[in-house]
Every structure is written in C-alpha cells, then in structure tokens.
Amino acid sequence: MMISNKALPRRTFLRGLGATMALPFLDSMVPASRAFAAAKAPVRLGYMYTPNGIVGASTASPRPNMWTPKNVGENFDFSPTMKALEPYRDHLNVLSNMAQVNGRALGDGGGDHARATSTFLTGVHPFKTGGADFHLGISADQIAAKELGKYTQLSSLEIGLEAQALAGNCDSGYTCAYMSMSWRGPTSPLPPEINPRIVFERLFGDGDSTDAASRMARLENQKSVLDYVTGSLTRLQGSIGAGDKRKLDEYLEAVRDIERRIQLAEQQNLTIQLPTMERPSSIPDDYAQYAKLMLDMQVVAWHRHDPRDRIHAGPRRQQPRVSRDRHFGWPSLDLAPSGRC
C-alpha cells in the first residue's frame, strides 16, 4: 500500500503556497485511510477561459452591464448574458476589478491576445519572442496539480475548443506557445487537447464506455502487463552493470507509478458510480454540441474524483467562432461573443 496515513496539515499547505488567504478544506487534508470512506464530496478545481473580452464587461462598453452586474452585494441582479446561471445564485460569486497588470503591454508593443492567455493563470509577463526561447512561469493549476495530483490518477487535464500550435508566430511577435494557459514550468507549456475522443481515451483508456465492468477489465489488463514487465526487469537486473541498473530502475519507477494509480482507480471504482457515456468518435460539427460534449466529459472526470484540477479553454483565436442560430439571438453563456478590446 503506497498511500500514507499522514494527513496534510492545513498550515503546511498554506505555507507551501506562500498564500495568506483562507483555503477551502481540501480532500488532501483528510487522512488517506478515511478519505475513501468519507461521504463528503471532494473539492474540485477548474479554470474556464474565454478570450478577448466579453461585451458589457466594463462601464465604458457601448452596452454596459450586459455582462458585469450593475450592483454588488448578496442580491445583485444577474446581467442578461449571465442570466442562465441565476438558479445557482446561492453557489457562486462574481468578482470584478481583477485586471492582470502583467497582461498589459508594459512597453512590449502589440500582442494583447497572446499576453492575455499566457498571464491568465501565471501572472507573469511573457518574454516577447517568436522563437523557441519563450519564457513564462508555472501556472496556478499546475501548482495545485503538483500537490493534489498525488492522490488522483490524472493530476490535471487541459482541454480546449480550438487547436493550438506550439511553434510559429501567433500574435504580433509572440510565439504560439504563449497561447497555452497551463504551464508546468517557465519553459513547459501544456497545450490543450481538443479532440473529445482523445480526452476520453486519456480518462478511460481504450475502453468504449465508462461502465464499471469495462473499466475494471481495462485496469486488470494493465496490471497484468505491468506484472510481466516487472518480471522481465527483475530477470535482467542480474546480468547488467551498476550504471545500467540505474537506467532500468528508472523504468521500474515508472511501472510502480502507474501501478499506484491503478490501485487508486480500483478502489475508487468500488465506490463511485459514473454517468454512462460512450466514447465520442470525433469533434462534433456543431459548435454548441462540441462545447457541451467537452463540458460533459469534465463532469464525468470530476465524478471520478480526478483530476481535481481542470482547465477548459474556450476558443482562442482573435475571432472565435460563435454558433449562430437562425434567430441570431443572444448566444448562451459559454459562447459569449467577443468584443474587440
């Protein structure tokens, strides 16, 4: 059993993050042996992003208060674009005046779109370059993933609705790498996965659906392959030199890591009911359908207790696609139209 019984003291976590604000009670603070028996639902962390601004976000907008509520306080009026969320009033907060200073030009000239995306979760002003020497910083979701990911099969999941290159010039001299919101380190962007089939496969492997039997079978399969690999490695260790042993130890470590996650998954399988979902075959043509599919998968992933940490990025081009229905009415929340800043 690799799971330790040590619970994470709240103060340690706070100190580690250098944060001074109160944090929600995270599941990692419950001793492991009790965690799975706990009836309390674990807390999830997710970031959703739509680019390039939203109509009615500021009072200077030609349509003020389309987005930003007019008043503050407990009984604020939901703005027209946000109306769909009104039933959940008791579960949400709307916070304003959180402009990111490092997203401004600060003397670098053009490139607002790239700066916006890259500073959203990092708070770091990106180094302006179109080449391979990009430099940013670790993003908030990855800081959380490093810690919370110890207890889940997948530490984090980055998905998006528009493809993103890792090289090339994407916005006035900024490389396309800056279109990633999620960064594992200053030079390691994590591009989002946009194909729902591949997201499904990352979550559920080669299985065709999320039902319990199929999941268990897949885990069994993986375990037996790993046992075979461990057996082969043990036999090999006998006939190679010390320096070579280290390389094989690396491989063995990787095996153990995956075995641990399988163990976690098996235990979770016993306690969790997942909504049934078939493996999607590809990206739906209809944009609204596509967005809904990706959001549904997020929900299923969270049902599975993992990953705690998720990023969902809306379209990120300069002119994102908007689904037009015949009446050309106001599109729903997750397809809020972009305004030019």
Partner 1 sequence: MPTVKKLLRHLSTWLLMAGVAAAVSTHGRLLAQAPASTNVQSPAPSKAPVAAPARAQTPAKSPALTKPQPPPAEYAKLTTTYCVSCHSDKLKTAGLSLEGLELADVPAHAQIWEKVARKMRTGEMPPPTVRLRPDAATERGFGSFLESSIDYAASVQPNPGRTPVHRLNRAEYSNAVRDVLAVDVHPGEWLPIDDSGYGFDNIAAVLSTSPALLDRYMSAAGKVSRLAVGDLAMKPADEIYESKRDPVKGSRNEQLNDNLPFDSRAGMTVEHYFPVDGEYVLKIRFNGVAAGTEEALIDPYQIRIPMKAGLQTIGVTSPRQNLKVESEGPGGGRAGGGGGRGGAAPQVPTPVDLRLNGARLKRFDVVGGAEINRLIITGPYNVTGRGDTASRKKIFICRPVSQAQESGCARTILTSLAHRAFRRPVTPADIQPLMVFYQKGRTPGDFDSGIQRAIQAMLVSPDFLFRFERDPAASAKGAPAPAHRVTDVELASRLSFFLWSTIPDDELLGLAEKGTLSDPAVLDRQVRRMLDDARADTLVTNFAGQWLNLRSVETQKPDPVIFPFDEALRQAFMKETELFVSSIFREDRSMLDLLSADYTFLNERLAEHYGIPRVYGSQFRRVTLTDANRHGLLGQGSLLTVTSYPNRTSVVQRGKWILENLLGTPPPPPPPNVDTTLKPGPDGKPLTMRETMQLHRANPVCASCHGRMDPLGFALENFDGVGRWRDQDAGVNIDASGKLPDGTEFQGPAGLSNLLLTKYRDDFVGTATEKLLTYALGRGVEYYDYPAVRAIDREAARDHYRVSSVILAIVRSTPFQMRKGSDS
Q: Which residues of the chain form contacts with partner 1 (CB under 8 A)? A: 130, 167-169, 197, 201, 205-206, 208, 222, 224-225, 228-229, 231-233, 235-236, 239-244, 247-248, 250-251, 253-255, 257-258, 279, 281-283, 285-288, 321, 323-324
Shortest distance (Å) from residue 85 CB to partner 1? 24
Cβ distance to partner 1 smaller for residue 77 or 227: 227
Shortest distance (Å) from residue 271 CB to partner 1? 24
Cβ distance to partner 1 smaller for residue 68 or 142: 142
Residues counted in the chain: 341
Cβ distance to partner 1 smaller for residue 86 or 257: 257
| 158 bridge partner residues | 311
Shortest distance (Å) from residue 88 CB to partner 1? 28
Burial degree of 177 (CB within 10 A; 0-12, 13-18, 19+): buried
Cβ–Cβ < 8 Å for 287, 321? yes
**182 three-class SS:** strand
Cβ distance to partner 1 smaller for residue 74 or 250: 250
Shortest distance (Å) from residue 290 CB to partner 1? 8
Cβ distance to partner 1 smaller for residue 25 or 228: 228
Report how far residue 136's alpha carbon sits from residue 115's, in angstroms, rounded to the nearest whole number.
10
**170 three-class SS:** strand
Among 54, 125, 92, residue whose Cα is nearest residue 322? 54
Shortest distance (Å) from residue 236 CB to partner 1? 6
Shortest distance (Å) from residue 187 CB to partner 1? 13
Cβ distance to partner 1 smaller for residue 277 or 283: 283
Alpha helices for 58-184 (secondary structure H): 112-119, 140-148
DSSP assignment, residue 196?
H
DSSP 38-82: --SPPP-EEEEE--S--TTSSTTSSSTTSSS-SS-STTPPPPGGG
CA distances in angstroms from 214 to 47, 69, 176, 258, listed in the order given: 30, 46, 39, 19
Cβ distance to partner 1 smaller for residue 40 or 235: 235
Shortest distance (Å) from residue 223 CB to partner 1? 11
